[in-house]
Structure 1
Amino acid sequence: MADMWNVTEDIASNVKPSELSKYSPGLLTFAAIVTGFIMLIGLFGNLLTVVALLKCPKVRNVAAAFIISLCIADFLFCAMVLPFAISGFWTRTWSHGGVLCKLVPFLRYGNVGVSLLSIALITLNRYIMIAHHSWYSRVYRKHNIALMIVFSWMFSYGMQIPTLIGVWGKFDYDAELGTCSIVPDDNGRSAKTALFVIAFIVPALLILICYARIFWVVHSSEQRMREHHRSQTSQGTLNNGSDVKRSTIKDTRETKARRNEWRITKMVLAIFLSFLVCYLPITIAKVADSHVHYPVFHITGYLLLYASACVNPIIYVIMNAQYRAAYAAALCCPLARLTGLTSEKWNERHGYSFSNTRTVLSQVSLGESRVDPRGISAPGR
């Protein structure tokens, strides 16, 4: 205990008033209040998402496992990191001892890594589903999904172990930032740049490459289908009334399936873009204004960074009708009524059909859950 108080006193003695004075008391109070709202929204939204995904069969599928991992990481960020951010804005220093000064940044960087890797895994799921569907059932088996999730957590936290034990940078109080972060070790080494490249740049590039490929595949597929339809029409192959009716029904189902796949893909893209919007401003601020000439720019960057932990549930509500229904059921309805989300009537009302046997893509889409016509559960369930 005495050592902890000594560390706290050392931290207080190293504070540079000239740096902290660049943030006005009013601005820091505003930041603390906004961070508090973000924390409450993030705790409620992410917990509700996990409950809805676990209890509602309609939205419990392969990709939901990665969504749950993402929500848990964001929930832990709100519960274990943001309270100390609020304290830092309020007191303008670190007053929680040396142990937490190492643990809190360790959790902060780890949860950020898990969040981005979870988004990358969801995007990879979409890419394989759309561009290499023949691989899907082999890749997304239950044990493979579990390994992917475990890897995302172990990698995000494991790559920080050298910093935690002080052999590649160290977690300590940064007097310039006024909070605990990664600082150079006794040999002048720091892991900040490497962590940024490995845990941010590489997953972001993977996501961008996957989406470029997804857009290309979808565009090419639509072109081929239009050409095929025109070819059939021009050759008079649909000269029978019943054939025309069957073809129209098939085209309608395929159109609904493609529209739903595209809508879900856009939702995942929105999650990634929101991540970039939340993380890039503070990164730019640290590089372009390292001496804090524009405090509002830095505070805005911090608030956007914290908002990343609560924005995903909002995206689900805005862009996905199934998640809205699952949230409403989890909040307002008894557990017995949650199974209503799997009813035929509910599916038809939202444009889905169990009789679509042309493709099993919709069985494993984000926010969907299908049953194979043969009575076998969809892959990865």
Structure 2
Amino acid sequence: MNRFGVDGSGSKANYGENLLTSEIINATSTMTTTTVSSITSILSTATSALLADNEIQNGDGETDELSSRFSRPLLTIAATATILIMIAGIFGNLLTIYALIRCPKVRNVAADFIISLCAADCLFCVLVLPFMAVRYIHGAWTHGEFLCTLVPFIQYGNVGVSLLCIAMITMNRYIMIAHNSIYQRVYKKVYVYTMIIFCWIFSYGFQLPTLFGVWGIFGYDDKLETCSILPDSQGRSSKTALFIIAFIIPCVIIIACYARIFWVVHESESRMRRHASSQPSLQNNNQRTMTGSTQIPGSMNNNLNETDVKSGNRLQATKSTRLKDQREAKQKRNEWRITKMVLAIFLSFLACYMPITIIKIADKDVQWPGLHIFGYIMIYLSACINNFIYFIMNKQYRQAYKTVLMCRTPKLLSFGHGASSNGDTPKHLANAIADSKEEPSDSC
């Protein structure tokens, strides 16, 4: 026993125990250090792989800068808006297509082009917007090189189809109002379908040189973190030509057609007002002639009777002319409603696509990411906003939607309020519609 009263054997035992504990602690520390080092090494390797993958996708090593360009709240808002627009666009466009096909009352040349327009918007919602939503959710393009080529090809093609369909509808309205005599010859069914096919072939055919890398390429834009048209190895890009041929020229045609339409409608209304103002004076003259004939006795009655007959014939002709004018006026009003609806569609198209055009020109270095996100959301909005325009501005379309949603049987021909020939109904049916008693109708 030592001087502390502890047995020596116990001291050796405690020493051995302490030594064992120390060795265990050292071993545990070594294992922990090794494990942490291994985990750190694995994470470092994974991070390096991810960075390398991003560099391959983005084309350079500015990953940190790109990841901080768009904030997470901004991307969340963009993803939410894209998903909502996608759902509304798919439902609205499919509903419009089905309603126009199912309800004969609204089927005309303009409706055929509107069906094509809805089909393009629906494809945009189905084939483009899901990838855009995932891009905003992940904060980067994660779908690979093939889809980075295919998705913008579909996107730009659908934009061209939409604008060309709007231009075709505008030209249809222009010929209907300004050159009605040639309308039936120009807008035969086979010609209408040929025009629609041309819109699709031209829009997508114009993208083929870029698709094959002959005139620019489809690829990942590292500044905008999206797939778009980029310059090829020789610095060539089809963006400028695409903007001029597929956007500026159709817009100029549409504006010119509407300027002419407004002029023709203004002149027509002026003539109708002048004609209407002349009718009461003619009717009053006839009435005075007939009244005066009863005040003259004797041998002049026979001559006056003949005059009365002629005056009555003129009055009957005047009434027939008035009825014809009323029919034409009603038909013109119905045509004018569709024309104004198409004008609203065109203006909404401009409102949706002009912001991103201006933003890309003014902010090439993406100093204001929020503006770019806003511009893209406006483009997506163009795929569903037309359906609201149809519903708000056209009673027949509202009735068609109501018929489809409430599973009613559509009428082959309605003589109710709002029926019109729209340039496609035979003349005697159009006259019957105009002469019929106006009754409310809830079915198309």
**Residues 1:127 and 1:115: Cα distance change in structure 2 (over 3 Å):** same
**Residues 1:17 and 1:172: Cα distance change in structure 2 (over 3 Å):** same
TM-superposed CA distance for 1:211, in Å, is 0.2
**Residues 1:282 and 1:133: Cα distance change in structure 2 (over 3 Å):** same
Q: Does the CA contact (< 8 Å) of 1:94 and 1:178 recur in 2?
A: yes
TM-superposed CA distance for 1:312, in Å, is 0.7
Q: Quick one: which of 363, 367, 384 aligns to 1:310?
A: 384
Structure 2 CA distance, aligned partners of 1:17 and 1:66? 47
Q: Does the CA contact (< 8 Å) of 1:7 and 1:98 recur in 2?
A: no
TM-superposed CA distance for 1:227, in Å, is 1.9
Structure 2 CA distance, aligned partners of 1:42 and 1:342? 30
Partner amino acid, structure 2, of 1:274: S
TM-superposed CA distance for 1:28, in Å, is 0.8
Q: Does the CA contact (< 8 Å) of 2:121 and 2:384 recur in 1?
A: yes
Q: Does the CA contact (< 8 Å) of 2:54 and 2:63 recur in 1?
A: no
Q: Quick one: which of 4, 14, 22 aligns to 2:69?
A: 22
Partner amino acid, structure 2, of 1:363: S
Structure 2 CA distance, aligned partners of 1:13 and 1:113? 29
| Structure 1 partner of 2:184 | 137
Shifted more, 254-263 versus 232-241: the winner is 232-241
Structure 2 CA distance, aligned partners of 1:39 and 1:217? 39
**Residues 1:60 and 1:299: Cα distance change in structure 2 (over 3 Å):** same
Q: Quick one: which of 358, 373, 376 aligns to 2:428?
A: 373
TM-superposed CA distance for 1:371, in Å, is 4.3
Q: Quick one: which of 342, 360, 366 aligns to 2:413?
A: 342
Matched residue SS, 1:291: coil
4+ aligned runs moved over 6 Å, structure 1: 6-9
TM-superposed CA distance for 1:296, in Å, is 2.3
Structure 2 CA distance, aligned partners of 1:30 and 1:92? 12
Instruction: Confirm or deny that 1:297 pairs with 2:371.
Output: yes
| Structure 2 partner of 1:364 | 422
TM-superposed CA distance for 1:343, in Å, is 2.8
Matched residue SS, 1:363: coil
Structure 2 regions of 5+ residues with no counterpart? 1-51, 287-311, 431-444
**Residues 1:205 and 1:16: Cα distance change in structure 2 (over 3 Å):** farther
Cα offsets for 1:184-217 (capped at 9, x unmatched): 1111111111111111001011000000000000
- Report the identity percentage: 57
Structure 1 CA distance, aligned partners of 2:163 and 2:254? 10
Cα offsets for 1:257-280 (capped at 9, x unmatched): 222222211101000000000000
Q: Does the CA contact (< 8 Å) of 2:391 and 2:397 recur in 1?
A: yes
Structure 1 CA distance, aligned partners of 2:428 and 2:218? 54
TM-superposed CA distance for 1:293, in Å, is 2.5
Structure 2 CA distance, aligned partners of 1:81 and 1:30? 18
Shifted more, 60-69 versus 40-49: the winner is 60-69
Q: Does the CA contact (< 8 Å) of 1:39 and 1:79 recur in 2?
A: yes
Structure 1 CA distance, aligned partners of 2:366 and 2:72? 15
| Structure 2 partner of 1:119 | 166
Q: TM-score, normalised by structure 1?
A: 0.86
Q: Does the CA contact (< 8 Å) of 1:8 and 1:96 recur in 2?
A: no
Matched residue SS, 1:94: coil
